[in-house]
Copies of this chain bind each other. A is one copy, B any other.
Amino acid sequence: MFYTVIDILGTIAFAISGVLVAMDKKMDPFGLFIIAFVTAVGGGTLRDLLIGQTPVFWLTEMFYSYLIIGSSVFAIIFRSKLSVLRKSLFLFDTVGIGLYTIIGIEKGLSVGLHPFICIGLGTMSACFGGVIRDTLCNEIPVIFRQEVYATACILGGVVFFVLSGFNVPQDVALLIGGLVVITARLLAVKFKISLPKVY
């Protein structure tokens, strides 16, 4: 129940972020909707494809399609007023990546993959919707250039496996891991922390 609420908020935030990027590119309503869709489910779709869990999750859980259609219509109608929601959307997005990281790690564990790969799948679930969004919008993915977004996911994943190593129950470790993702992202944005420059 708790997780479902976060999943809903995260999906809404991801879908609206897709609509906003697509609007910058002057896409038509169909384009806006598709970009909203891939932003929201793209990361999890790639994860499911790589581990072979098909049909991928959103083909059978209609919940996501309804939410994304609703969010897109909402974002298109209230497009001139979305800036007042900026802070809420940022927060939804942040709790969303915390949850998606956890879901990715869990799925990886369920098919017996190595901890490093599970962290990778978690990060992918949380971040690659945005990568596909930016690629379809003909931009270099923003998370490859500046945002401490993936790094927060990786950090949360590492914390989860360290805790598991100390025999912390999986549920507790996942919850803490997710909170680390969220905290790391909030702190990074607040204090403008970014990865060290290599140039």
Chain A contacts to B: CB under 8 angstroms: 22-23, 25-32, 34-35, 45, 49-52, 54-56, 59-60, 62, 65, 76, 79, 111, 113-114, 116-117, 120, 131, 135-141, 143-146, 150-151, 194-199
Asked whether A22 lies within 8 Å of B65 as measured between CB atoms, the reply is: no
Q: Which of B35, B143, B199 contacts A30 (CB 8 A)?
A: B143
- Which residues of chain B have C-beta atoms less than 8 A from A62's C-beta? 114, 116-117
Asked whether A59 lies within 8 Å of B54 as measured between CB atoms, the reply is: no
Write the nearest CB–CB distance from A74 to chain B, whole angstroms: 13
CA distance A139 to B140 in the complex (A): 9
Q: Which of B45, B51, B137, B145 contacts A59 (CB 8 A)?
A: B51
Write the nearest CB–CB distance from A199 to chain B, whole angstroms: 6
A121, closest chain B residue (CB): B59
Write the nearest CB–CB distance from A188 to chain B, whole angstroms: 12
- Which residues of chain B have C-beta atoms less than 8 A from A117's C-beta? 59, 62, 65
- Which residues of chain B have C-beta atoms less than 8 A from A113's C-beta? 55, 59-60
Interchain residue pairs A-B with the least CB separation, the first 9? A52-B54, A31-B144, A28-B195, A27-B144, A138-B140, A51-B55, A30-B150, A29-B195, A50-B56
CA distance A113 to B55 in the complex (A): 9
- Which residues of chain B have C-beta atoms less than 8 A from A35's C-beta? 144
Asked whether B55 lies within 8 Å of A59 as measured between CB atoms, the reply is: no
9 pairs, A vs B, C-beta closer than 8 Å: A23-B199, A28-B146, A28-B198, A30-B143, A51-B59, A65-B117, A135-B135, A136-B144, A137-B140
Instruction: Say whether, besides A62-B114, A117-B59, A144 and B34 are in contact (CB < 8 Å).
Output: yes
